[in-house]
A and B are shown apart, each in its own frame.
Chain A
């Protein structure tokens, strides 16, 4: 085959997965091409202009710890930072930021432009060139053939994308951009199991037509917590968002017009995410609710566009405008871009290994929505992993994978490749059985070392990390050793702040475990008796370990117990069809997964207790 150009790695798509993949691969020394339909839309946030949130913020922290770019870019483009769940424990706190959409694109483009070994190419990939079980390169729409030892597909919603507004449908990757139809067909030709998913987006409004006084303002944090471990200060001026509500009259109008909704007319076949329902879904499925919450999120400093969060819809554009007028404060509002639903192809992620490489075609990696996930953060972390591993296939390095017990990324990948998806997959903290240990504050402790060993963490960041770890270790030691006795001056201060007796003497660590004792109190007492330089963030990390230690131990015991039988081997020649207790679908899944141990079988979803016990008996009987 003759090629016009050759690289080590080609990344198809310039969204959040593609950017991380290309950046990581290039920085690991692979000559990397990022091929995208429109170079001006690199790092585009197709939907909500926000990064992070519960569990998603954890992912951004982990990406940053490994040496990815999302955290840094978000820190430079964030215009409303809020640490969510501030009133709850550190394990479930998570940073979130509204971003300036244009600024985010600009920053991401800048980061990629100044990455050595990274080559941006505009164009549409229409075919994957493979020789039986090995990827060779890609073919572009203009006929160019580009060779590569590894290809990362990060095509987002573009694969066979079909936009719906009311009864109108048209092919598109996003509103206003062409769909990638040939590439989707190429994947099918290669024999990949392809399914259909759906997602949606709300209308964007003209901020000048909104009566802002009708909404409650929502302020940014006074002290913004950045995503990146390398960021000291958030420099963007911070803005307000606003909260409002729908009305019963609006709900009635939607109900009357359901026949115009492609979701309810049967026109949309793909499955949408249950945690991100359209306004039609909310009104129908939760009919008893008088109102639904809406967020007005300005899209940036230099635009009038406002994102109407909570109002995702595929109703006809004209009807969208009518509905908005029923919202107090939006009586005069004008739509700049209507909301729409989009259906797209995804490839069953169970055909991937833990390195996100396709089992049947060496050198081909899938990352992001093509694997059935939703969300920028979910896409970015897969892109990072795929980029690292694509570079590794070129350099001959070992594959890089992450475990469930050490990272949310590990949880996400493990869920994807073992269980597949029934709806667009989003990360949640409840998906992580080791939730108390996988915190945003210790993402660096968990993963920085990997990033450094891979070569993605520079000297400056590494130095910074070690310093932070030293401070945390010193703080932990101090928490144990600082004790207040009744005769100490600080004791009286502690009693006063806590508001109850503390016994003969109490260590700072014991004090911190008392309910209602805030980090602020500990910090004051800490500095009162100890002259170590320590930041709030470092103290928080030290305290979090202290707070959860007992619970983590208890939880580990339960998990161990659950896994007690996991080592039992399942005979390789076992015919699952001979197990009557299993449903047809389960037999199919078992056959596809071919679990080698009882533990692997246990994680296959939908297996009933009876079916598992049947399998357990067979395994025990035959070994």
Chain B
């Protein structure tokens, strides 16, 4: 096994930059770096040392910590060097470690080594990736829960219930001559529907989970001069977009990252859609259409004080094809009654005033509602990984097949097809169930033995 090295902090200039080494040579390389061949640091303690070039010339003074195997993140010998955060210094130290025998780590290799050494399982590793990439507090909380194995734990009751049912059905098949309790088909159906409910409920958290993990793209659209940029600024809480009374002021799309209700949101303001007056505006409008196609949710801003124009209607009908909210702006003025009537049937409409800030909370809530409310860290467990989501959906579909077979009074071996498939899918999250385990359970549950 070779020793790997990488800069652990993000690229760019910063106060401190951390370099991590993992592998059997870590301590040896550290000794060469500080040019002290008998240097024996106490594990898990921080000490200050000079890192020197091969010539002996000092390169940087760094805080050095040593973690002895197996009590380290990767389970291997590890060293962390907290250097000064200049990219040049870090580059030099990195080069130096490589010349001393370390290899530059592949992305994620530290975590992979931790997995391999039994420090965590794959789903925990996935959680670490999420933790590192988390963009909001709620996302951090979710990743931390998964790291603790909560998804697997949450599925345990479902899995146990399924095994219990499988045990009943399998023993009815295998031990026909034994004096076993009669199969209660209706009870099994009720239990299965309950398990499906459990699995579906978890799967349903994926919309929120994904929003948390990957963030949500919200794009503001509308015809020129309805107040899109004002709404944008209100939501973003700053005067970033230039607002004038001249229609077509926003020529290009601009974006702002923010956290709304715990969810990372990338909010985009776009050029108003109309027949362009010049080339620049034409390109801007093209980009608007692009942004509309990419968005997870569209906020269509409409001026409530005037009648709907053909442009408004065209934009609304385009937005109808996607997830959207209509912000009926200028509610500080008197609304044109025909507009309210026309819109109320078609879409989710929120009355706002970008000028006064009225209705902004309603708008925020309307934007967040498709992604679930995740205001704090107290929300339940969320499925954040699309692989887990897929497995849960497959589990639920397989179980639905079994329920259908039961309703048709199909023979047990047919009902069991769906149940075994479901256990297989769940097993990819919670660990496999072998036929030996099921047999063992049968023998401990029922008195078998003609």
Binding site for B on A (CB under 8 A): 53-55, 84-85, 87-89, 91-92, 274-277, 282, 285-286, 289, 292-293, 295, 309-310, 312, 419, 428-431, 433, 435-436, 515-516, 548, 551, 554-555, 558, 561-562, 578-582, 602, 605, 608-614, 616-618, 621
Contacts and interface: CB of A to CB of B under 8 A. Distances in A.
Contact of A293 (B70, B75, B179, B425): B179
B174 A609 contact: no
Given A431-B435, A551-B417, A613-B122, A54 B117 contact: no
A581 B439 contact: no
A515 B409 contact: yes
Nearest to B179: A293
Contacts of B409: 515-516
Contact of A285 (B109, B432, B435, B447): B447
B170 A614 contact: no
Which residue, of A285, A428, A429, A608, has the highest number of chain B Cβ atoms within 10 A? A428
Given A89-B412, A293-B178, A581-B117, 4 more contacts: A515-B409, A551-B414, A580-B75, A610-B118
B447 A435 contact: no
B237 interface: no
B414 A621 contact: no
Contacts of A436: 413-414, 417
Given A293-B450, A515-B408, A558-B424, A579 B174 contact: no
B8 interface: no
B238 interface: no
Nearest to B171: A430
Contact of B174 (A295, A429, A555, A611): A429
Contacts of A609: 121, 427, 430-432
Contacts of B1: 578
Interface string B377-414: 00000000000000000000000010000001111111
A429 B449 contact: no
Nearest to A279: B449
B447 A282 contact: yes
A397 B198 CA distance: 57
Given A515-B410, A562-B424, A617-B112, A84 B177 contact: yes
Interface in B424-440: 424-425, 427, 430-432, 434-436, 438-440
Contacts of A558: 420-421, 424-425
B447 A54 contact: no
A55 B175 CA distance: 10
Contacts of A605: 434, 436
Given A85-B176, A310-B449, A275 B443 contact: yes
B173 A613 contact: no
A459 B397 CA distance: 49
Contact of B117 (A85, A431, A614, A616): A614
B243 interface: no
A614 B443 contact: no
Interface residues of B, number: 49
29 contacts: A53-B177, A55-B174, A89-B410, A89-B414, A91-B413, A92-B412, A275-B449, A277-B448, A282-B447, A282-B449, A293-B179, A310-B450, A419-B436, A430-B173, A430-B438, A431-B435, A515-B408, A554-B417, A555-B417, A555-B420, A561-B424, A581-B117, A582-B118, A605-B436, A608-B431, A610-B120, A614-B115, A614-B116, A617-B122
Nearest to B424: A558
Contacts of B323: none
B447 A286 contact: yes
Nearest to A621: B112
Nearest to B440: A274
Given A310-B449, A605-B434, A609-B431, A54 B118 contact: no
Contact of B115 (A285, A430, A515, A617): A617
B119 interface: yes
Contacts, number: 138
Contacts of A92: 173, 411-413
A581 B118 contact: yes
A196 B432 CA distance: 30
A613 B450 CA distance: 41
B421 A555 contact: yes
A54 B173 contact: yes
A442 to B, nearest CB: 15
A87 B420 CA distance: 22
Contacts of B447: 277, 282, 285-286, 289, 292
Contacts of A293: 178-179, 450
Interface in B1-53: 1
B293 to A, nearest CB: 33
A72 B119 CA distance: 58
Given A89-B414, A293-B450, A614-B118, A274 B176 contact: no
A424 to B, nearest CB: 12
Contacts of A548: 414
Contact of A621 (B116, B178, B420): B116
B413 A274 contact: no
Contacts of A295: 177, 450
Contacts of A53: 177
Nearest first, the 6 closest Cβ-Cβ pairs linking A and B are: A581-B118, A609-B431, A580-B118, A89-B411, A610-B121, A274-B443
B118 A579 contact: yes
Interface in B100-124: 109, 112, 115-122
Contacts of B448: 274-275, 277
B174 A428 contact: yes
Contact of B173 (A429, A555, A612): A429
Interface string B57-82: 00000000000001000010000000
Which residue, of B118, B410, B425, B438, has the highest number of chain A Cβ atoms within 10 A? B118
A497 B449 CA distance: 39
B170 A430 contact: yes
Contact of A276 (B117, B440, B449): B449
A580 B436 contact: no
Nearest to A295: B450
Nearest to A427: B174
Contacts of B179: 292-293
A613 B176 contact: no
B220 to A, nearest CB: 42
Contact of B439 (A91, A428, A561, A582): A428
B147 to A, nearest CB: 13
Nearest to A218: B177
Nearest to A615: B116
Contacts of B176: 54, 84-85
Contacts of B174: 54-55, 428-430
A169 B427 CA distance: 47
A520 B260 CA distance: 67
Nearest to A607: B432
Contacts of B112: 617, 621
B5 to A, nearest CB: 17
B450 A616 contact: no
A56 to B, nearest CB: 11
A610 B118 CA distance: 7
Which residue, of A85, A436, A608, has the highest number of chain B Cβ atoms within 10 A? A85
A548 B416 CA distance: 12
B118 A554 contact: no
Nearest to A618: B116
Contacts of A286: 447
Contacts of A578: 1, 117
Interface string B127-146: 00000000000000000000
A271 B447 CA distance: 17
Contacts of B75: 580
Contacts of A515: 408-410
A258 B248 CA distance: 95
Contact of A580 (B70, B408, B431): B70
A87 B182 CA distance: 14
A423 to B, nearest CB: 9
